[in-house]
Amino acid sequence: MIDLIERKKTGKALLPHDIHEWIRGIVAGEIPDYQSAALLMAIRFRGLTEEETFALTVEMIRSGETIDLSSIRSTTADKHSTGGVGDKLSFLIGPMVAACGVPVPMLSGRALGHTGGTLDKLESIPGYQTSLPIERFVEIVKKVGISIVGQTKSLAPADGHLYALRDVTATVDSIPLIVASILSKKIAAGPEAVVFDVKCGDGAILQDGEDTRRLASSLVKVARRLGRKASALITDMSTPLGRTVGNALEIEESILFLRGEADAPDMEEISFALAAEMLLLAGRAESDTEARELLMESLHSGRAAATFQEMIFAHRGDPRVVEDPNILPKARHHKEVKAATGGFVTELPARAVGLAAMRLGAGRGSMEETIHPGAGIKLLRKPGEAVDQGDVLAVLHSDDKEKLKRVEAGFADLFRIEAEAPPARPRILESLRGGGEAGE
């Protein structure tokens, strides 16, 4: 390990055998954390080549079990988001794509910091189980068309160990380590096609456009080398997605979207683009136009909402929430935040809104903290929309009056209100297909 640390510290490449021994030693408990932490920091500063990144991803996949989806005859597809605020797209995209005939096996994570967690949101549905045996997971995908569960300890266990170290050594933002972490979990779960939603902007893990492009390109290239069909969209995360931030609140908004009742053009634009890409990669559609027509029909016919309901039932959740979202948990206390002046909302920073939701109880600063499923924020105004003095900008939800009071104190200041409407911002910034080269 000292030789490996020294080699990477001086900018030299690690050999596949070196990476194999490092990951093997981590899983076997033979390598102390301080040496792995030193190597992670050397990688953070010196980077990894594509060959090194590929080798690291392969070894992390091989560190545990993989899910065999060969009994599913159709091409399976999944979507992965690099994380954001109000990002509930899995609950829109998954049911729509599954309703179009493409099975969606999806492994997801939990909230940490300003970003929300898919599993925490699902667990706000009464009874929903996110931890299932692999056999049951595959069975639900075959029967319903979609299953969303958490990563088991047997899948890519090296990633779990390394991620915990990265979290406490300030190496989370290393692009090759992000690529290996994401792909080791996704490939171990077995999908044949993967679409990556790589967020860029204030609320994203990477805020610089060039870094985001490098991450997206690397994800596509390495995934293809691993035998998967892959593409990526770089999407805007400068402001929260949709009008809700928080677990039960986001599930409710997702249900309204599937029922055709949500007012969220940003959610519609990005979810349709990602879902269409999944249908194209899976061979279900031959053009973007055809894919979007299939997706729209899945919504208008009610099949997408019905698929989400069937998945909830298969996971032992209460399927009535799709017909009556009021069954979802509610926070005990609410507070309206009003505008001090009129004009147009020009900015609403995603990261600050996400942190505010976390402080209300919707997220966690460490994995030991408890989430309150009804806590969160409803946004009644977003950038580009007009507002009059005294209009309600947002409604804060919390079970704790003191938390509510603290967050309320400065929340209105997050809304920048100016006399003129801001120029429209593109929500899809770039698409990367094929070998990972940028394209329209």
DSSP β-bridge partners for residue 346: none
Helix, strand, or coil here: 419?
A: coil
Residue 227's φ and ψ, nearest 5 degrees, are 85, 15
DSSP conformation letters of 251-305: HHHHHHHHTT----HHHHHHHHHHHHHHHHHTTS-SSHHHHHHHHHHHHHTSHHH
What is the pairing mode between strands 77-81 and 193-200? parallel
DSSP 15: P
DSSP β-bridge partners for residue 338: 392
Please tell me the total number of residues recorded for the chain in this structure: 440
Longest dimension (CA), the chain: 65
**Catalytic residue numbers?**
80, 159, 166, 181, 185
Query: Cβ(42)–Cβ(9) under 8 Å?
Result: yes
Nearest Cα to Cα of residue 124 among 368, 371, 400: 371
Nearest Cα to Cα of residue 80 among 199, 176, 165, 162: 199
DSSP conformation letters of 326-388: GGS---SEEEEEE-SS-EEEEE--HHHHHHHHIIIIIS-SSTTSPP-TT-EEEES--TT-EE-
